[in-house]
Amino acid sequence: MKEVSHMIRDIEAEVELTRRLIGKNALDPRVMKAMRRVPRDEFVPSEAKAYAFYNGPVSIGYGQTISQPYIVALMTDLLNPEPDDIILEIGTGSCYQAAVLSLLVKTVYTVEIIQELAQQADERIRRLGYANIEIRTGDGYFGWPEHAPYDGIIVTAAAPYIPEPLTQQLKTGGRLVIPVGSPFQYQELMVVEKKESGELETRTVLGVAFVPLTGDLGASQRPNPTNEPT
């Protein structure tokens, strides 16, 4: 399909432009294969089909977007998924990111706070035959503890700080990929690795722009403001 080929070339071009920031000249071939296989046009509203393979975000309603293909591919690559992995996603949206991951791992659990989007996503993946994705409606700040610990966690909305419940649900040796920053201001895509000691090693990859993570953000557990990113 011509549109898919154009999308893949756009992703490769973005990787070339950002190679010094992301520390690689190419993304994992398995990730790029998954990007080719998932029909992105099935995950956008009918009125946005013309923009489905454009290398940019697309509105899916309710103030939410489907992330640009490059960012989806990059975040998937940074998660370093393996075939037997159990992955948690926060922010189901259209379920496109989860669909890409589902081709690379054993199971994807995904949490969406907007009930209408969760219902639409569930109907979509059933229709398209993605059998290893499970969706629940809830506040993603608290993760999905029933299935923890996770080999990897991916967050598709910007949090003002790294939610502690998510790091607690991350398996030792696992990775959390998350945009961190204030809504509509500068945000950083970060990778958090949990070491054998239980300590968290964090690195910043590049600047990004995501819709904000909603919910109460664990207001009673919010860290001291001096520890929050600026």
Paired strand residues for 61: 64
Q: What DSSP line would sit under 61-117, residue for residue?
A: ETTEEEPPHHHHHHHHHHH---TT-EEEEE--TTSHHHHHHHTTSSEEEEEES-HHH
Residue 227, amino acid: N
Let me know if 67 is a catalytic residue: yes
The whole-number average pLDDT for the span 7-15 is 96
19-27, long-range: CB within 8 Å, 24+ apart, which pairs? 21/205, 21/206, 22/74, 22/78, 22/205, 22/206, 27/73, 27/74, 27/77
What's the pLDDT band for 212 if we cut at 50, 70, 90? confident
Q: Distance between CA 206 and CA 190 in Å, rounded?
A: 8
**SS3 track for 19-37:** HHHHCCCCCCHHHHHHHHH
Q: How far apart are CA 77 and CA 188, in angstroms?
A: 16
The whole domain housing 60 covers: 2-227
Tens of pLDDT along 180-195? Answer: 998 767 899 999 999 9
Q: Which of 96-105, 130-139, 165-174, 198-207 is the least confident region?
A: 198-207
Tally of domains within the chain: 1
- Please count the residues of the chain: 230
Query: What's CA 157's distance to the chain center, in Å?
Result: 8
The widest CA-to-CA distance across the chain, in whole angstroms, is: 51
| C-alpha to C-alpha distances, 154 to 34, 43, 46, 109, 211, nearest whole angstrom | 17, 18, 27, 10, 15
Tell me, what DSSP letter sits at residue 54? S
The residues with which 145 forms a beta bridge, in sequence order, are none
For residue 90, the cross-strand partners are 111, 155
Residue 226 pLDDT > 60, yes or no? no
Q: What percent of the chain has pLDDT over 70?
A: 93
Q: Which of 5, 46, 67, 94 is catalytic?
A: 67
Number of C-alpha atoms within 13 angstroms, CB side, residue 140? 27
Residue recorded with tokens 């919910």: 215
Q: How many CA atoms lie within 13 A of 124 on its CB side?
A: 22
- Which pLDDT tens digit goes with each residue over 132-163? 999 999 999 999 999 999 999 999 999 999 99
CATH number of the domain residue 180 falls in: 3.40.50.150
pLDDT tens per residue across span 51-80: 999 999 999 999 899 999 999 999 999 999
